């Protein structure tokens, strides 16, 4: 998959919460080289309480990214390797009979965490995917009619491989639409890859982030304050109209059989506000909307099969939409 990921916003003077999140991005960079743009996308997802789909070939540090982010933010993190034999209870938890008390007790699954890494999410069958769908949308687990809320904050960071589809179960549109962002994790450039090798040659162990110098530089309180400030960012009526016009244009694009839903429009509003706040502004500009349009909308679009055969991608359609929809001044 080609096309821009999401550019990194420049650190600016501002609130303590904004400074804390900029420190967070810097801290993640101690362990993950050359993925600043993806780190910014993950920070935006945290600000918006949204889930992220990370797409990239094996070996580009998708898992390390999520683990390092959780460590630097002092959050609990769990990882689930999705496989064809994974059952819903393996993810959400299940009732276990205790012979000592002759009663059933609930054993929490790995979703009871702050940051869930769902590795190779498209390798598990639809039954397990549907269990994760409730977790993502409702932020709760229902077992035997009893609802059990998940911790706050809670986001899912799911990974998938864009080149190996044998034995996979494509994610349904309803689940794709629940992801706030789809971030493409690119291969590093030559200089960045040299930096990776130098770090490993010097003794860097990706399984020991503390030894690599990664420390908690922000916490849940900083994140809560940041969310409140980002939510308060002003959006003028012409910019609201621009967001709507972009999403409506995808629905009438000849190359697409499925355009962005109203949920996609609300997601674009939220990510544009978070992007603007990270950049130190108190209002959203049309350029802010353009900066986050591709990662926010690309997974919500479905190109027609005949144009896919010609190599047309969702990003290419979005490029055309962004170039043709009038920009407010």
Whole-angstrom distance, CA of residue 247 vs CA of residue 108: 39
Reported as a pLDDT band with limits 50, 70 and 90, residue 297 is very high
Average of per-residue pLDDT across 9-30: 77
pLDDT digits (tens, 9 = 90+) for 176-199: 888 999 999 888 889 988 988 998
- Do 196 and 256 share a domain, yes or no? no
- Do 249 and 163 share a domain, yes or no? no
Question: Is 19 among the domain residues?
Answer: yes
Question: Is 4 among the domain residues?
Answer: no
Average of per-residue pLDDT across 80-103: 87
Q: What is the pLDDT of residue 12?
A: 47
Which of the given ranges, 5-19, 59-73, 194-208, 276-290, has the highest pLDDT on average?
276-290
The answer to whether 12 touches 190, Cβ cutoff 8 Å, is no
End residue of a domain, out of 228, 262, 280: 228
- Do 146 and 253 share a domain, yes or no? no
Reported as a pLDDT band with limits 50, 70 and 90, residue 6 is low
Reported as a pLDDT band with limits 50, 70 and 90, residue 2 is very low
Question: Is 2 among the domain residues?
Answer: no
Whole-angstrom distance, CA of residue 274 vs CA of residue 47: 6
Average of per-residue pLDDT across 268-283: 95
Average of per-residue pLDDT across 272-298: 95
- Do 129 and 275 share a domain, yes or no? no
Q: Which residue has the higher pLDDT, 237 or 310?
A: 237
Whole-angstrom distance, CA of residue 219 vs CA of residue 74: 6
- In angstroms, the Cα distances linking 321 to 60, 149, 214, 239 are 30, 39, 41, 16
Question: Is 8 among the domain residues?
Answer: no
In the chain, the number of structural domains is 2
- Do 202 and 243 share a domain, yes or no? no
End residue of a domain, out of 228, 257, 290: 228
End residue of a domain, out of 204, 228, 252: 228
- Do 137 and 265 share a domain, yes or no? no
- Do 247 and 312 share a domain, yes or no? yes
Question: Is 246 among the domain residues?
Answer: yes
- Do 139 and 219 share a domain, yes or no? yes
Across the chain, mean pLDDT equals 88
Does a cis peptide bond (omega within 30 degrees of 0) precede residue 153?
yes
Reported as a pLDDT band with limits 50, 70 and 90, residue 13 is very low
Question: Is 64 among the domain residues?
Answer: yes
pLDDT digits (tens, 9 = 90+) for 132-161: 888 888 898 887 778 889 998 899 999 987
- Do 259 and 119 share a domain, yes or no? no
Question: Is 7 among the domain residues?
Answer: no
- Do 224 and 237 share a domain, yes or no? no
- Do 20 and 118 share a domain, yes or no? yes
Average of per-residue pLDDT across 164-177: 77
Q: Indicate which CATH number applies to the domain containing 43.
A: 3.40.50.300
Phi and psi at residue 302, in whole multiples of 5°?
A: -125, 105
Average of per-residue pLDDT across 64-70: 90
Domain, as residue range, for 296: 233-328
Average of per-residue pLDDT across 91-103: 84
- Do 176 and 243 share a domain, yes or no? no
Q: Which of 117-126, 135-144, 160-169 is the least confident region?
A: 160-169
Whole-angstrom distance, CA of residue 64 vs CA of residue 45: 17
Q: Indicate which CATH number applies to the domain containing 299.
A: 1.10.8.80
């Amino acid at each position: 998959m080609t096309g821009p990921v999401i550019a990194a916003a420049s650190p600016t003077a501002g609130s303590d919460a904004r400074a804390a999140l900029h420190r967070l991005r810097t801290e993640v960079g101690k362990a993950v080289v050359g993925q600043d743009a993806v780190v910014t996308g993950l920070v935006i997802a945290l600000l918006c309480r949204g889930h992220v789909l990370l797409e990239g070939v094996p070996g580009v540090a998708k898992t390390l990214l999520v683990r390092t982010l959780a460590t630097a933010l002092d959050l609990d993190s769990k990882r689930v390797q999705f496989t064809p034999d994974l059952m819903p209870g393996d993810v959400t938890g299940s009732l276990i009979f205790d012979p000592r008390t002759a009663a059933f007790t609930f054993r929490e699954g790995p979703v009871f965490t702050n940051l869930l890494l769902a590795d190779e999410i498209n390798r598990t069958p639809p039954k397990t995917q549907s269990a994760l769908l409730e977790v993502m949308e409702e932020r709760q687990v229902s077992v035997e009619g009893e609802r059990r809320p998940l911790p706050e904050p809670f986001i899912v960071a799911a990974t998938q491989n864009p080149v190996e589809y044998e034995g996979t179960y494509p994610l349904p549109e309803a689940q794709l639409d629940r992801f706030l962002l789809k971030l493409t994790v690119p291969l590093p450039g030559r200089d960045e890859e040299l930096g990776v090798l130098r770090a490993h040659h010097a003794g860097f162990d990706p399984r020991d982030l503390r030894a690599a110098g990664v420390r908690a530089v922000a916490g849940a309180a900083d994140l809560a304050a940041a969310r409140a400030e980002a939510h308060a960012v002003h959006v003028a009526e012409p910019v609201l109209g621009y967001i709507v016009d972009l999403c409506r244009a995808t629905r009438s694009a000849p190359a697409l059989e499925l355009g962005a839903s109203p949920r996609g429009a609300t997601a674009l509003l939220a990510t544009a506000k978070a992007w603007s706040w990270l950049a130190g502004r108190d209002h959203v500009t049309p350029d802010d909307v353009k900066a986050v349009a591709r990662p926010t909308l690309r997974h919500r679009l479905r190109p027609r099969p005949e144009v896919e055969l010609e190599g047309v991608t969702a990003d290419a359609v979005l490029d055309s939409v962004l170039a043709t929809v009038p920009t407010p001044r």
